[in-house]
Structure formats: C-alpha cells, structure tokens
Structure 1
C-alpha cells in the first residue's frame, strides 16, 4: 500500500513526538503492508510555518535512519496545506511542497467552519496547474451540513482523500457514515492513514482496505490503496487519479496505467524522487 498523508516527521507539527516515534511509526506502517509513504507535515500560517526548507531535510534524515535499520519504507516529500490567500504564489515559488514535486498536493480545509468561496479557491488552484486533494472531507465538522460543497469539489476535479480509520470506526459514527456516503456515490479517489503517532492514529490501512475489497471488490481496493496514489506520485493525468464517474476530460485511464506509472517511478533513483 501507498500512504500519501502522514505526520511521521518529528518536531515539525503535532505528529511524531520525537525521532524514536518516527521510527516506530515506520515499523508499524511496514508491518501493516505500507511500502511507500509521503511525509506531509501541516503548513498553517502563524502556527506551523513549514516549507520545503524544513520538510525535505527532515525527510532525508529520517530516510537515512530507516535505511540504516533496514526498515523498507520509502519516503516522499509533501505537506498538509491549509487554506491561505497566497497559496498559489507559494506553490509556484516552490516554497510549499507538492507531493513528490507533482501537480498534486494535500489541501486541508478548516475543520469547524466552511470557508467562503472554497470552490472558487479550488478552481483558482486548478486553473493555475495545481490539483488540490481535499483531505479527509468525512471528518470536517461542516461537511454533513454542506455536503453539496464536497460533491461539487469532487466534480470540479479535486480528488477526495478519505481516512482509513474513518471507515473502520476510529473517528466515530458520523465520520464513518460520511465515508460510506462518499464511497457509495463514487466520489472517493483514495485512502490514507493521516497517522500522527504510535498509539491512536497509527499508520495502518489494511483493515480499511479489507473492508473496501469486501464491499466493492479487490480491483477497487487496489485502486484506492495503491494504484491512484502511485499515479499521483508519478504526476499522472487526473484521469488516472479521479474515480471514473468523476473524470472531467479525456479518455478513461487504460487498464494497468497506474501500475506502469508506479513501476517507472519506483525504479527511479532517490534523487529523482525526492530531490
């Protein structure tokens, strides 16, 4: 499995408490079947002032530690980015990292209140050549009351990333219900762990993958836990990332496209992947 949302890097946000926790999170992830993980600390103006200059060195340091201990987890650079007026400019300048230097990045809307003109903001990002992945919409407190906004964001071409623990019940009944609704409507692109530690919110996804496979079939589970995340890391066209019912342009992704993209990117050396 490929996990594109984690807070495994220590001392950058509210994720791993220290390096020992980061290494233990990596061990847990590998034990659960995760082979590739994006390091995505929060980027929150005035609170977590992270950028490429803080995230990339920390990722390289942790990767070296994992390699030294023979922990087979490959890390990628990214960020969990909050809404900000100057975000397009910061993305263009390379200050805020996208996922593995692709057009895709994690966008976390405010949890408590729906921000005004969120769809216009997402459309501006898309028109600027960046694809905002809406993180854990099922856990946003306003999402059930304004579900039409979530639907329109997906229909605009913004991939929706669900949290594995939301499906298995770790975030309560409301989050699980909204997760199932998004899945049943065919609007979910992929799952991630959004891991923050070694106890609660651990980097595990296999339980959710098994549930998706049971309900929707193994092919759908493979798409949501491997193929589409691989396509994102390879900067594939959105047709390889969005659910087939939500693709806004172009022909459907050909069978095996995401796997071929994954083979290509995973064969590349680490300099190509992470800079």
Structure 2
C-alpha cells in the first residue's frame, strides 16, 4: 500500500514532534501494510515555512533512521501545500515540492473559509501542467454550503484525497457523510 499523505517527518509541522514518534508511526504503517509513504508536511506561509530543500533533508534523515531501525518503508518527498496566489510559480521553480517530483501535489484550501477564486487558482495550476490533489475535502467545514465547488474542482481535473478515518466515521457524521458522497 502507498500512503500519499503523511505528517511523519519530525518537527516540521503539527505532525510528529520527534524522531522516536516518527519511527513508531513508521512501524505502525508497515504493520498495516504500507510499503511506500510520501512525506508531506504542511507548507503554510507564515506558519510552516517548509520547502523542497528542507523537506528533502528531513526525508533523508528519516530514511537513515529507518534503515538503522530495520523498518522497511520507502519514503518520498512531498508536501501538503496550503493555497497561495504564487503557488503555480513556486511549483514551477521547484521551491514547493510535488509528490516524488511528479506533476501531482497535495492542494490544501483553508478548513473554515472557502477562499475566493479557488477554482481559478486550480485552473492556473492545471494549465501550468500540475495536477492538484484536494486534501480531505470531507473535513472542510465549508463543504456543507459549497459542495458544488468540490464537484467543479474535480470536474476541471483536481483529484480528491479522502482521509481513511473519515470513511470509517472517526471524524464524525459530517465527514462520514461527505466521504460516502464523494466516493
């Protein structure tokens, strides 16, 4: 199994706070059948100032620790990228990473407010040759009143990534409902 969205890199965002926790996360992932994992810390301007260079260094460091601990998990560079007006340019110059240097990247809008011109930004990204993967839309609080935006984003070429815990109801009824609707 391939995990395309993880916050396993220690100390880069609100995910793993330590190498010990990252190793435990890796052990659990492998026990659940994960063989490959994209390391996708948040990139949020003004909050999580991550980029391709520091994420790649963190992935290399964790890979070394996994080898020392004999944990068979292949890691890849990526990011959970918060929307920004200059995102197409940042992806094009490589300062914001895509998933394993592909055209695909995790595209995260704000959780509580539908940003203006989100569809325009998505079209700019697609026209620039990238494929946005909208992260966990079932958990966005604005999906209740703007489900049509998620449908339109998908129709223009954005892929959709659901969180497994949403599908089994761990994030509540609303996330479960929209997970089922999106599936």
CA distance in structure 2 between the aligned counterparts of 1:76 and 1:53, rounded to whole angstroms: 13
Aligned twin of 2:113: 113
Shift of 1:37: 0.4
What's the TM-score once normalised by structure 2's chain length? 0.99
Aligned twin of 1:181: 181
Aligned twin of 1:267: none
Shift of 1:87: 0.8
Write the deviation string for residues 133-176 of structure 1: whole angstroms up to 9, x where unpaired.
00000000001210100001111111000000001111111000
- Other structure's SS at 1:146 match: helix
- Other structure's SS at 1:145 match: helix
What's the TM-score once normalised by structure 1's chain length? 0.66
Shift of 1:70: 1.3
- List structure 1 segments (4+ residues) > 2 angstroms apart after TM superposition: none
Matches within 5 A, 1:98-247: 98-183=98-183
- Other structure's SS at 2:171 match: coil
Aligned twin of 1:91: 91
CA distance in structure 2 between the aligned counterparts of 1:177 and 1:24, rounded to whole angstroms: 31
CA distance in structure 1 between the aligned counterparts of 2:17 and 2:156, rounded to whole angstroms: 37
CA distance in structure 2 between the aligned counterparts of 1:15 and 1:105, rounded to whole angstroms: 18
Aligned twin of 2:30: 30
- Other structure's SS at 1:33 match: coil
CA distance in structure 2 between the aligned counterparts of 1:127 and 1:26, rounded to whole angstroms: 36
Aligned twin of 1:208: none
Shift of 1:67: 1.3
Shift of 1:82: 0.4
Q: Tell me the matched-pair count.
A: 183
The Cα RMSD (Å) is 0.6
Aligned twin of 1:60: 60
Bigger relative contact order, structure 1 or 2, given CA contacts below 8 A and separation 6+? Answer: 1
Shift of 1:75: 0.4
CA distance in structure 2 between the aligned counterparts of 1:82 and 1:157, rounded to whole angstroms: 18
CA distance in structure 2 between the aligned counterparts of 1:84 and 1:140, rounded to whole angstroms: 17
CA distance in structure 2 between the aligned counterparts of 1:120 and 1:130, rounded to whole angstroms: 14
Shift of 1:26: 0.1
- Other structure's SS at 2:107 match: strand
- Other structure's SS at 1:106 match: strand
